[in-house]
Amino acid sequence: MRPLRSALPYLAAALFAVLPTLAQPISGNAPRGGAPGGRPANARIGLTVDAAFTGRVDFTAAGVAAGDMRVTQTGAKLSVPLPPLGSGWFPLLSLRYRHHDLETAAGTPLPQHFQGLSASLGVFGNLSPDWSLFASVSPGVANAGSGFTSKGMSVGVIAVASRKFGNDFSAGFGFVFDSLARGTGRLMPVATFDWSPEPGWKVWVGYPRTGVSWEPSQALKAEFVAEADFGSFYVTEDPRTPRPGQVRLDRTRLEYRAVRVGPAITWKPDPLVSLRLAAGVVPMVRAEYEARNYELRSENATGFASLELDWRF
C-alpha cells in the first residue's frame, strides 16, 4: 500500500486543480435559470496563452542526491462555446497545448521536456434550481523526452455536482479520472467551494487555483493563491545511460506534480482582454516513475514567476 505521505501531493493536486484539460470551473453564483458559473448563452470564444519560469530545484531519490532542474513552461488554450442543448445546458469545446522545458544537471533522471495536447468536451447544466453539474471528457496525448506517440494517448474524465446555498456560497463534490496515470493519481475525489463574504471579496477552491481574491474595480483584481501543475507523461527512452543494476526508466509513465503559492495581479484594460502576473514560491515538486517505484523529491523551495494573457472575441 502507498504510504499516506506519498499520496498527499495527489490530494493537494485534487484540491488545487481538477484536470489541465478542463474548460471552466463551476461557480455557485449563477442566477436561477441561467448557466452555471454565470455563463451567458452567447459566451465568446476564448484564447489564453501563458508562460512561467521555476527556479532551481535540487532532488533526492531514495535519500540519495539525484540532480536538479529549472523549468520554463509555455501553453495555449482555445475555448469555443457550442449552441445550448435545450434549456439550461451549455456545452463547451476546448483545445489545449502545454510544454515544459527542463534545464537539468548531468545525470538527473528526468527528460529534457514534457508536452501534452488535449481536446475537451464539457457541459454545464442545471439539475434543479439549486444543483448544477459539470462533466467533461478529455482525450489527449502526453509524452516526455520525445515527440507524441500512441503510448502517450489517454482519456480524462471529470464530473462535479455543485449546490448553491445562497447568493454568496456554493459547494461541490465529484471525481477525476486520468487513464494515463497509475496508483493514487488515476482516480481521485475532488471538492470545491465558492464563498463571497463581502462585495468584491471571494474565497474559493477549484480549477486551476485555490485562494482568496479582492476586486476593487472591474479593471483590477488582486489574489493570493495556491495552484497545482501536474500531469502524467509517457517516457519512451531512459533520460540517463543506466548502469548495471539501476532501475530502468524507459517505456514507463512519469507523473509530475508541483505546487506554487503566491500573490497575483490581474489587469483588464478592456472588458475582453485580461493580463495576469503572478510570482511566489514553489514549496514542493515531485516526479515519480510510479511503475518503477522510483520518485524524485525536491529538497528546497524555489521561486516562480508567470504571465497569462486571456482574450475573448
pLDDT of residue 208: 65
Q: How far apart are CA 46 and CA 61, in angstroms?
A: 41
Cell numbers that stand for 184 in this block = 493514487
Domain harbouring 239, CATH code: 2.40.160.40
| Torsion angles phi and psi, residue 56, rounded to 5 | -65, 135
Q: How far apart are CA 124 and CA 122, in angstroms?
A: 7
**With a cut of 70, which residues of the chain have pLDDT below it?**
1-42, 183, 207-208
How many domains does the chain divide into? 1
For residue 162, the enclosing domain spans 4-312
Per-residue pLDDT tens digits for 50-60: 999 999 999 99
Nearest to 22 by CA among 152, 127, 176: 176
For the whole model, what pTM was predicted?
Answer: 0.84
pLDDT of residue 86: 80
pLDDT of residue 39: 54
pLDDT of residue 42: 55
The continuous run of DSSP H or E covering 149 comes out as none
